[in-house]
Structure 1
Amino acid sequence: MKSVVIKKPGELVIEERALPEPGLGEVRVKIRYASICGSDVHIWHGHNPFARYPRVIGHEFFGVIDKTGESVATARLGERVAVDPVVSCGHCYPCSVGRPNVCSELQVIGVHRDGGFSEYACVPAGNAYQLPETIPDKLASLIEPFTIAANITAFVKPTPQDVALIYGAGPMGLTALQVLKGVYGVKRIIVADRIDERLLMATDSGADVVLNNSQVALAEQLQGEKPTLIIDAACHPSILPEAIALASPAARIGLLGFSADACTITQQSMTSKEISLFTSRLNSKRFPAVIDWMTHGKIAPEKLVTHYFPLAEVEQAMTLFEKDPHTCCKVILSME
């Protein structure tokens, strides 16, 4: 089988590998589509602190179960599945309180163990979620990125009355936007970005107001309007202090990502408004919710897809994803 391997930072190859065999409690998935995430690019360039090399990358993928391991029912053969990349121990403190995404022994498929930019992958059977026929193959790999939005929104608890501000109209910001609008019914959503083409995509995904903050500060453009809910999907260190300053008293702020660079905030700026700050990593068993949302048309993943490439052109696809934010949003690889 062919697999996309990052041999070491900066070295991407398509490698011929032996067909994997599912172990105890595993299924083998014949992969049909996989989508590119910024973390895949970071692993390629050596900027992901969690990655181990060599590594088959890819944590957003979909396929069909073609073989089952010991203790897995053969009735699962032929199931169309999306794969949750979060592999947890099930018994540590985070797992015991329903937070397997920060398991003390966490492994992420495509980061700590081999992933889905491959013709086949073996994964824990419990991580392979069967999909209804109403979810098309070509969009099924996008279930995983929407689970990221599902995770942060579960923390910040949006309501229709919120005035929401989203920093960043990249893939993560747009998934959060669609979930706020389509699932929670938030009536007023403002999206800020520095790229006009991304703001057009935000409008298409349901934003009520789009603001380019490359030249004019958001505070000036908001004209005193105070967001009650802010999601930072850009995560530059300068954003959190600004978000706190802009936020309404009693607002909630969610961080959808992370930077290793320091940012400076004061306790007074948060406590004086009693602002709640939430962080989110990966997803905590959110696949069933997103599958339901997609099945019932509450989210529109097709609006995020700008390009499809065959697996053989993965380097071109990843370069486009990294270098061209004006025309590129989600890029999907086809294994067929």
Structure 2
Amino acid sequence: MESVVIREPNKLVIEQRPLPLAANGEVRVKVKLAGICGSDSHIYRGHNPFARYPRVIGHEFYGIIDAVGEGVDPNRHGQRVSVDPVISCGKCYPCTVGKPNVCTSLVVLGVHRDGGFSEYVTVPAKNAHPIPDAVSDKHAVMVEPYTIAANVTGQVAPMENDVALVYGAGPMGLTTVQALKSVYKVQQVIVADRINERLAMAKACGADHIINNEQIDLAAFLNEQGLKPTLIVDAACHPSILQEAIGLASPAARIVLMGFSGEPCQIIQQGITGKELAIFSSRLNANKFPTVIGWLEKGLIDPDKLITHCFDYRQVVEAIELFETDRRKCCKVLLTFSA
């Protein structure tokens, strides 16, 4: 079989590897589609401190179970599945309180263990989630990105009367906008970004207000509109955003950080305690695959609004470079592995 392997930073090869065997409790998946994420680019460029090389990247993927290991129901053979990349121990404190995404011995497919940019991959059977017939292949491969939004919204419990402000109209911001508008029916969703084409995508995903915060002062706009954010989602993760969000937030608001920057962030604590703000963080997903598959079955979310490009996996370098350089036209890029 062929696999996309990062041998070392900036060195990517299509490598011939032996067909893997499903171990006890595992299934082997014949990969059909995989999605490129920013973390794949970071591993390729040597910017992910958790990755070890060589590594088969890819944590967003969908395929067909073509072999099962010992202890796995043989009837699972042939199932269409989307794979949760989060592998946890189930016994540590985070796991026992429902946060396997921060397990003390966390393993993430495509980061700590070889992932889905391969013709075949073996994964724990419990991580391979069946996809209903009503959900298309292209939507099935998008389950994992939407679980990030499901994890965020699951923590902050959006309400219809919230005024939600989302920083960043990249894939994670856009999935969150769709969840806020279509799943939680939030009446006011504002999106701030510096790329007009991405803002247009946010509008298509349901945003009520779109603001280019490089050209328009965000605080002044909110004041003019009489909007005081009660829920702020930082999907851009620049070190300056948290302090600005604290200043813009309504008293008793919730602020959630979807990612991180390696640079230090300075905040004034008085702004948090003075308003009694709640600050959340979110990493990966905590058992959200069934939630998102349910959203897809009900037609509550539309991945087609994010998918902009599709490449054969042998064109992976071209695909990653496009993902990295064309933020105006490129949002979600898929790789095809088999028909």
Q: Sort the TM-score into its range (normalised by shorter chain).
A: over 0.9
The Cα offsets for residues 253-298 of structure 1, whole Å up to 9 and x where unpaired, read as 0101111111111211100000000000000000000000011011
* Corresponding position: 1:300 with 2:302: yes
Corresponding residue for residue 119 of structure 2:
119
What is the CA–CA distance in structure 2 between the aligned matches of 1:95 and 1:106, rounded to whole Å?
A: 10
1:282 to 265, 284, 302: 284
Corresponding residue for residue 182 of structure 2:
182
* Corresponding position: 1:319 with 2:321: yes
Percent identity between the two aligned chains: 62
Q: 1:73 Cα shift? A: 1.3
Corresponding residue for residue 198 of structure 2:
198
What is the CA–CA distance in structure 2 between the aligned matches of 1:245 and 1:266, rounded to whole Å?
A: 10
Q: 1:21 Cα shift? A: 0.5
- Secondary structure of the 2:14 match is strand
Counting only pairs closer than 5 Å after superposition, residues 141-290 of structure 1 correspond to structure 2 as 141-223=141-223, 225-290=227-292
Q: 1:216 Cα shift? A: 2.6
Corresponding residue for residue 10 of structure 2:
10
Corresponding residue for residue 130 of structure 1:
130
Corresponding residue for residue 72 of structure 1:
72
- Secondary structure of the 1:29 match is strand
- Moved runs in structure 1, 4+ residues, more than 3 A? none
What is the CA–CA distance in structure 2 between the aligned matches of 1:32 and 1:151, rounded to whole Å?
A: 25
What is the CA–CA distance in structure 2 between the aligned matches of 1:56 and 1:148, rounded to whole Å?
A: 22
Amino acid corresponding to residue 75 of structure 1 in structure 2: N
What is the CA–CA distance in structure 2 between the aligned matches of 1:173 and 1:291, rounded to whole Å?
A: 19
Q: 1:205 Cα shift? A: 0.3
Q: 1:70 Cα shift? A: 0.9
Taking only aligned residues, the RMSD between alpha carbons, in angstroms, comes to: 0.7
Aligned pairs, number: 336
Counting only pairs closer than 5 Å after superposition, residues 41-56 of structure 1 correspond to structure 2 as 41-56=41-56
Amino acid corresponding to residue 321 of structure 2 in structure 1: T
Counting only pairs closer than 5 Å after superposition, residues 95-106 of structure 1 correspond to structure 2 as 95-106=95-106
Corresponding residue for residue 39 of structure 1:
39
Amino acid corresponding to residue 291 of structure 1 in structure 2: I
Corresponding residue for residue 107 of structure 1:
107
What is the CA–CA distance in structure 1 between the aligned matches of 2:179 and 2:329, rounded to whole Å?
A: 23
Moved more, 239-248 or 224-233: 224-233
Amino acid corresponding to residue 106 of structure 1 in structure 2: L
Q: 1:91 Cα shift? A: 0.6
Amino acid corresponding to residue 292 of structure 1 in structure 2: G
Q: 1:215 Cα shift? A: 2.6
Corresponding residue for residue 23 of structure 2:
23
Amino acid corresponding to residue 316 of structure 2 in structure 1: V
Q: 1:100 Cα shift? A: 0.4
Q: 1:226 Cα shift? A: 1.1
Corresponding residue for residue 312 of structure 2:
310
Q: 1:139 Cα shift? A: 2.2
Q: 1:221 Cα shift? A: 1.8
Q: 1:74 Cα shift? A: 0.8
Moved more, 263-272 or 220-229: 220-229
TM-score normalised per structure 2: 0.98
What is the CA–CA distance in structure 1 between the aligned matches of 2:35 and 2:16, rounded to whole Å?
A: 21
Q: 1:81 Cα shift? A: 0.2
Amino acid corresponding to residue 77 of structure 2 in structure 1: L
What is the CA–CA distance in structure 2 between the aligned matches of 1:94 and 1:251, rounded to whole Å?
A: 25
Moved more, 224-233 or 171-180: 224-233
Amino acid corresponding to residue 189 of structure 1 in structure 2: V
- Secondary structure of the 1:272 match is helix
- Secondary structure of the 1:200 match is helix
- Secondary structure of the 1:72 match is coil
Q: 1:217 Cα shift? A: 2.2
The Cα offsets for residues 157-197 of structure 1, whole Å up to 9 and x where unpaired, read as 10000000000000000000000011100011000000000
Moved more, 153-162 or 218-227: 218-227
Structure 2: 5+ residue runs without aligned partners?
none
The Cα offsets for residues 126-177 of structure 1, whole Å up to 9 and x where unpaired, read as 0000010111012211100000000011111100000000000000000000
What is the CA–CA distance in structure 2 between the aligned matches of 1:115 and 1:282, rounded to whole Å?
A: 15
Amino acid corresponding to residue 172 of structure 2 in structure 1: M
